[in-house]
Structures are given as structure tokens and as C-alpha cells.
Structure 1
Amino acid sequence: MSEEWIADRMHLIDASGIRKVFDLAAKMENPINLSIGQPHFDTPDSIKDALCQAVRDGKNAYSQTQGIAPLIGKIQAQVDETYGHADRQVFISSGTSGALMLVLNALINPGDEVIIFDPYFVMYTHLTRVVGGTPVFVETYPDFSIDIEKVRAAITDRTKLILFNSPSKPT
């Protein structure tokens, strides 16, 4: 495909990072891939049976755009009980990358900073840059723990969001 058809913002995404990880893993003896939701074991029969039953019960159409109310209600109740903050609202999506793209598009303006804990999933930086944000990295080495002083030091007047995912896929 000709480069003229590709949007300029796509040059902000370097797909080679994740390819390097998979190339490295291919050279390892018996690696277990925990990185992209493809476990080394089959889906348990109880889950398969529940899925088949849901299809037989007619639960196989698009859900409402705001999500399945009973599911959101149950998860929201758990969040409320755990955190006790009225400002913690549940958002459910069908995948992490799509959800992050929605959130970053909704919250980040050009020049806003997004704190990302290192190590991180390679798409965090790309998605941040695509929406015009600036990634700011906070290291968690050697034990992948978050040092609050490092976080405080990284916060500036331009900080808009802390992308909190711990241990942030150190796989």
C-alpha cells in the first residue's frame, strides 16, 4: 500500500517492539506466553458449557452500548465496597487496547503528560503519542514496585493521567 494513504499519526507507532519480544521468545526453550491472553491450556469445560448455554438461551446479540446493566451493577457494587469512593465508575470494554484508546482520546489533549510505569506494555507509549500526549516513564525496577516518591517527582503541571497497571506486564 502506498504511504500516501497512511495517516501521519501512524508513524508514531513502531510495531517492531512487540515483534522483537516474540522473536526473542521464539528462541527460548518452552516459553509460556502470558502476554496477550493466549494461555498454554484450553478453556475449562465449565466456561465452554456456560457459553454454549448462553447461546442456546439467546444471549448472542449485541449488548447495549453502555454495557450489560446487571454486569455493570455487580462490578460497580464490588468497586464501591472495596474503595468506598463515589467517583470510581466502572467502564467495561471488550479489550484493553480499544478501551485505552477510548480513554486516552476522551482525556488527553496535545501536550498532556501520561505517567507510565516501566516495564510497560509497548502499546501504552504508542497510544499516548497517537492522541498527542507525552509519555513520562517511572521505573519500577528491580522488584516492579511503585515508589510514590518517583511518582511525585514525575508529576508536572502537564500531568493529566497516570496509567496504572501493576506489575504492568513485566513478561
Structure 2
Amino acid sequence: MIGKSNINIKPSIFGLMSALAKQHNAINFTQGAPDFETPSWILEKLEYYSSRGKNQYSPIPGMPELKEACANKVKHLYGCSINPDKEIMISCGASEAIYSIIAAFISDGDEVIYFDPAFDAYPYVTKMMNGKSIRLQFLSNGRIDIEAIRKSITHRTKLIILNSPHNPLGAVISKNEYLEIAKIIKNKDILLLSDEVYEHIYAGEQYQSVLSIPELKNQSIVVQSLGKTYNITGWRLGVCIAPEKILPYLLGVKQFTTFSAPTPLQLAVADGINDHPEYYETLPQLYQKSHDVITNLLRKSRFKVLPWHGSPFLMLDYSNITSKNDECFAKELITNHGVGTVPVSSLYEKPIHRYLRVCFAKQEKDLIEGALKLCQI
């Protein structure tokens, strides 16, 4: 039997480049997994709960303790009141939440609007559900194009995906931009998926979440990543915040995918959120420091570093070095120079071959070593 033609069986570029970097023992700036230490207080809590028998299925929506902790965190950060029992789902990673949203609301011919370049889950899952991707371009100043969104909406539009801070460009969406989008989708049967997995990695004074925009509350679903925040991506814990009328549809998908996230991991993170708010409050400074370390060194290189406003990624323009295909050049950097990066052409609808993505969520010694190697090219 041959599988469905709308299932993409090609391995993700992130996994491919990460595996190649490990194979060659290269400095690994590929996957967006933070290389910082996992907080000891989370690990201690994991041992505490797992050794006390908290090892069976959790409720499908997630452990009440973690949902309440997430609701309190949202209230603290964004001044938004969320009902933890009716508006929060704990997913197995942010990717499961994204899958659940698209699977629940997109079917044959439905249109999904988002900006290029895009996290590859957006087009893959949309195609899997027989939906149609409408891929827009950023403005020349790196901002989202509000007018392009307005002009792209048709009677088949069901979902708009916004990613802020953006992977891989690092663009951050402003309050005024969200308010304009609210006007566009008001009284329309359109949902907004706000992918906010890098909510604590930004350069400005304060991060702007969709959660703090009352005009979007009834049409928005927010996805967060506890794995990215607490350096536990292997634990696969995401958060999905949705209106009460929307959440049951997401849970309907979840119950036949992962069913539930791991119980002791949820309890450990719940305690971490409650007991150590200073951790996520100071995370932007940690990333700003890492960003500054690698950027200051790369100024001496032949790469052009694109402006950064958020996310753990830098975009490097290598057009002053070579005109090679980005995947070929990225593989050459690994095999010949010992530095792993991600070619981003596959994240565009129409491939552009001049950019590499660098994840700088790494230990300082690796940032320095990798940057110095890039400066020699």
C-alpha cells in the first residue's frame, strides 16, 4: 500500500542539518533547542513527583496544577484572566498544539494565511488536511504586511497564523498591528493562531502577546512552549490557550493523538512557574547577552547579520561570500569548517538561496568558537 500523497515524508531540514552537525562533531547552531542548563529546581521536582507515584495518565487537557500555573503566569505578564479549566490545554510540545488547531478547523480547500519564511509545520499540516496555504511576504522593513492580509482574505479563509517573535526572521508584532488585524477579522468566521513559543526572547522593553488584546480574545488561539522557556525541549510540553467554545475541538484531536502529556513533568514545571517567576522574567536578558556575544564577533566576518528583534535565531546573509545553493553551502560549513547552521530556502514557498539561520541559545564558549570559525570564511 502506498501512503496518501498529501503526507510529506521528506525529513525536516532542521533534523537533517542537526544530524549532519553531530556526525561531524561541529559546533551545532542548527535546531532551536536551548543549550543552557535546565534549572535544578525543576529536576528536583521531577524526581520528587515521579518517586511518589505520579506516573500515570494525566487528564487529557493537562494537570490542573500546570494549567492554573500557566493562567497565573499569563495574568502576571499580560494582565489577562484565563479560565484554566475551560481555556487551557497542555500539549506534547507546541507542535502538537499547532497540529491540533489546523486539524480541527481546516479541511478540503480551506485557506490558511501566514508569512514567508515559515516554520515548516504550517504548510505540511495544512496540506495534510487538504487545506491551501496562502503565503505572504514581509514588508521591506521586516514588518508584517497588514494590507496583504486584508487583500488575501476570501470566503475560504479559515485561519491566519502569526508567529511573534518570528522563526527565523526574529520579527516582533506590535499592538497596533494586532489591532488592525482585529478590525480585519471582526465578525468573520476566521481564527487567529498566534505562535508565541519565543515569548520570553525579545529585544524590546516588553513583549506584546495577543492575550493582551481584548479585541482578539474570542478569535485567537495562543501557543506557548514550556520546553523552550525552561530548556527542557525533550520533555515536550506546550501550552494552548483558546476560547472556551474552541478548546473542545482541540481536545477532540488530542484525545486520539497523544491523549495526554507526561504527568510528573507537568507537575514539576507547575512548581517551577509558581516558585520561580524571576526565571522567566529575566530570560530576555540572558538571550540578549548571548545575542550580543555572537553578533559582536560576526561583525568581523563576511556574513551580513540581519536585524534582530526576538527569537533565539540570527539570520546571516552569505551573498558576499558565495552564490552557492544554501543547502550546499550549509553542508560545506559543517564538513569543512565545523559549524552547523540551517539553510532557510525550504522555509519559503519560492526558495531564496542567500540566508542561513543560526541558533544562539548556546553556551558562551560554543558561541565564541563557532563565531570565530565563521569569521575565517
Band the TM-score falls in, shorter-chain normalisation: 0.7 to 0.9
Distance 1:91 1:149, change over 3 A: farther
Residue in structure 2 matched with residue 124 of structure 1 by the alignment: 122
Letter in 2 for 1:151: I
Return the offset for 1:5: 3.8
Equivalences for residues 38-57 of structure 1 within 5 A: 39-57=34-52
CA contact (8 A) 1:115 1:163 kept: yes
TM-score w.r.t. the length of structure 2 is 0.37
Q: What CA distance in whole angstroms lies between the structure 2 residues aligned with 1:148 and 1:82? A: 26
Indicate whether 1:22 and 2:20 are aligned. Answer: no
Q: Give the letter for the 1:70 counterpart.
A: E
The question of whether the paired residues in 1 share the 8 Å contact of 2:14 and 2:30 is answered with no
Match of 2:68 in 1: 73
Contact 1:125 1:135 in 2 (8 A): yes
Structure 2 CA distance for partners of 1:166 and 1:14, relative to 1, 3 Å: farther
Pairwise CA distance, 1:53: 1.3
Q: Is the 8 A contact 2:61 2:88 kept in 1?
A: no
Q: How many residues align?
A: 162
Q: Which residue of 1 aligns with 2:108?
A: 110
Aligned to 2:3: 6
Shift of 1:136: 0.9
User: Which structure has more strand as a fraction of its residues?
Assistant: 2
Cα separation, 2, equivalents of 1:68 and 1:20: 30
Q: Which one has the largest radius of gyration?
A: 2
Higher relative contact order (CA 8 A, sep 6+): 2
Aligned residues: CA RMSD:
3.2
Distance in 2, matches of 1:20 and 1:52, equals 30
Deviation at 1:93, TM superposition (A): 0.4
Structure 1: unaligned runs, 5 residues or longer: none
Structure 1 pair 98–32 and aligned structure 2 pair: CA distance change class (3 A): same
Shift of 1:16: 5.0
User: Alpha carbons of 1:5 and 1:151: their partners in 2 closer, same or farther (altered >3 Å)?
Assistant: same
Letter in 2 for 1:32: F
TM-score w.r.t. length of structure 1 = 0.75
After superposition, the C-alpha distances for 1:41-74 in whole angstroms (9 at most, x for unaligned) are 3423222212111212322221011221232234
In structure 2, runs of 5+ residues without a counterpart are 169-356, 358-377
Q: Is 1:32–1:40's contact at 8 Å kept on the other side of the alignment? A: no
Q: Deviations over 1:97-144 (max 9, x none)?
A: 322222212111211111122221112101001101111112236554
Aligned to 2:91: 93
Aligned CA distance change for structure 1 residues 153 and 67 (closer, same or farther; 3 Å): same
Query: Could you say which residue in structure 2 is the equivalent of 1:140?
Result: 138
Matched residue of 1:66: which SS?
Answer: coil
Q: Is the 8 A contact 2:71 2:82 kept in 1?
A: no
What SS class does the counterpart of residue 149 from structure 2 fall into? helix
2:119 and 2:166 map into 1 onto residues whose CA distance is: 7
Rounded Cα–Cα distance in structure 1 between residues aligned with 2:106 and 2:164 = 21
